Amino acid sequence: MAQEKIAARIFDSVVKRYDRFLKFATFGFIDRWQEILVKQTPAGNFPLDVGTGTGEVVKKIHSIYPNSIPVGIDVAFNMLKKAKEKNKEKKNLFIRASAYDLPFKNKSIDSILTSLVFRHLEPDNAAREFSRILKDGGHIGILDISKPSKFIYGSIYFFANKIFRPIGEKIFSKDEYDYFMESIENSMTAKQLEEFFKEKGYSKVFMEKRFLGMVVIAVFKKEADIKF
């Protein structure tokens, strides 16, 4: 898809400064949020990290589930190189692949995790492919931007788009920063996310809001009769 080509170009260009920016933009909370995501998502033998980026979630999977063999996929080649460097001492696999065309057999993956990725995806197409490869009873764990109350969301969006933008554009280009701002606008509320996965045949097993409700960490379990 065209959007994936844009994402690949942007994330390939920011790989050297991405981790630093993410820690700064989340006031250092990103590591804690990812730890919660991984701990609350039963990994199984073969967990899949969609949009693995620089491999931080895979790194935490190794720490929390040492017997698992995680797989990380991303459309950005430079991100995958960085992820592989970070996790070179462990058993894992990194693949350049689309979330809409995953190179795995039906019902072959034990769990799927996404960290700050789901809002970038076309949700119906992504969920269909996730359901195809995920085993019955498997789990999807999502950490992402969420829309809280209109006042809080409006205030934080104003800060990100007006106050923080000059700093962001020193790290990224204007077009790259615009891409991130657009993705925030496309994010779901926690309730919308829960309803979306319920409609797809999943049950909620964990949900927690962080950062004044601007961040949601949620885990959903796949029921056995899902059609994909």
Task: Specify the pLDDT at position 156.
Answer: 63
**Which residues of the chain form beta strands (DSSP E)?**
47-50, 71-74, 93-96, 109-115, 134-145, 202-210, 215-222
CA distance 228 to 154: 36
Pairing mode, if any, of strands 109-115 and 202-210?
unpaired
Reported as a single tens digit per residue, the pLDDT across 3-46 is 787 778 878 888 888 898 889 888 899 999 999 999 999 999 99
Pairing mode, if any, of strands 215-222 and 202-210?
antiparallel
CA distance 163 to 209: 24
Residue spans per domain, the chain: 2-222
Cβ atoms within 10 Å of 214's Cβ, excluding its own: 21
CA distance 127 to 143: 15
Per-residue pLDDT for 2 more than 60? no
Let me know: does 98 contact 4? Beta carbons within 8 Å. yes
- Average pLDDT score over the chain: 88
Residue in this structure with the two tokens 């927690």, named with its chain if needed: 208
CA distance 178 to 161: 9
Task: Specify the pLDDT at position 109.
Answer: 98
Q: Domain 2-222 - what CATH class?
A: alpha beta
Length of the chain, please?
228
Rg over alpha carbons for the chain, rounded to the nearest Å, is 17
Task: Specify the pLDDT at position 154.
Answer: 65
Task: Specify the pLDDT at position 160.
Answer: 66
Question: What is the model's pTM?
Answer: 0.89
Per-residue pLDDT for 72 more than 60? yes
CA distance 23 to 122: 26
Reported as a single tens digit per residue, the pLDDT across 181-219 is 677 777 899 999 999 999 999 999 999 999 888 899 999
